[in-house]
Structure 1
Amino acid sequence: MQFQQDKGGGRRWRCRTKNKPLFVENLVMYQIRMAALALVVSVATAGLTAPVAMAQTADTAASTPKQVQKAQRKADRKAARAKKNAELKDLEKNGYQPGGDQTNYPQNIQNAEKKSAEAKAKAASAP
């Protein structure tokens, strides 16, 4: 681009290769950008609506082996977490403090486990 004077005394930017004013070139670039944006929006809209049209019902969704295995693993993790939390609550009830002083750590948890085992044995032998 170069800076030139017009016949009327005004100044305009003009492109060196073409003799068009800069605003015409900007207008063309603007139109190209708007067309590209419209294309992106239309593709995105089509992509977002396609999964809704292809959605499965609840009956067929869990019928694939991969989904059944995933549901089974999730149930197993949930059961293991519940068992661990119940054991921790039992140990806390018998004197173990996981966030407390850890200087006597092995002895603290062993004492709590011993008390817990004695309480379970006593509850099992009671009529």
Structure 2
Amino acid sequence: MTLLQTRKLVVVFASGVLMLSSVAPALAQSGGSSATDSTSASAPATKAQQKAARKAARKQARAKNTAELKKLESNGYQPAQNDPNYPQNLQNAQKKANAAQAASQ
């Protein structure tokens, strides 16, 4: 085997390893299912079921974010206002919301 053939073989091998290493993480990504998913591990969900689960998860996350924003707005935070004291106002609203939540418990 000549030096040129050896180099070509090394390049091909390195290319293959690089391609496989980039595919493995993509295959290892989760499908967005949570630990409380009701589907069994032995039966894979259909695409429609996966889509419905993702939609429900997005809807739940959106509702959580909206509720948190409403709670902050009710405690004095104004997100639409162009305020130079932005971080401090947000932190003050968070403190008020947390204090109100602790007082109600």
TM-score (norm 1): 0.47
Q: Secondary structure at the match of 2:72?
A: helix
- Decide which of 84, 87, 91 is 1:106's aligned counterpart: 87
**How many Å apart are 1:120 and its aligned residue?**
0.2
C-alpha separation between the residues in 1 aligned to 2:104 and 2:86?
Answer: 27
Mapped pair 1:123 → 2:104: yes
Match of 1:73 in 2: 54
Letter in 1 for 2:95: K
Q: Secondary structure at the match of 1:74?
A: helix
Letter in 2 for 1:115: K
**How many Å apart are 1:100 and its aligned residue?**
1.1
Mapped pair 1:92 → 2:73: yes
TM-score (norm 2): 0.56
Identical aligned residues as a percent: 59
C-alpha separation between the residues in 1 aligned to 2:78 and 2:46?
Answer: 43
Structure 2: gaps of 5 or more residues: 1-44
Structure 1: gaps of 5 or more residues: 1-63
Q: Which of structure 1's runs of 4+ aligned residues deviate more than 2 A? A: none
Pairs aligned (count): 61
Letter in 2 for 1:121: A
Letter in 1 for 2:81: G
Mapped pair 1:83 → 2:64: yes
Match of 1:32 in 2: none
Write 1 or 2 for the structure with the bigger share of strand: 1
**How many Å apart are 1:83 and its aligned residue?**
0.4
**Based on CA coordinates, which of the two structures has the bigger radius of gyration?**
1
C-alpha separation between the residues in 1 aligned to 2:68 and 2:46?
Answer: 33
Q: Secondary structure at the match of 2:50?
A: helix
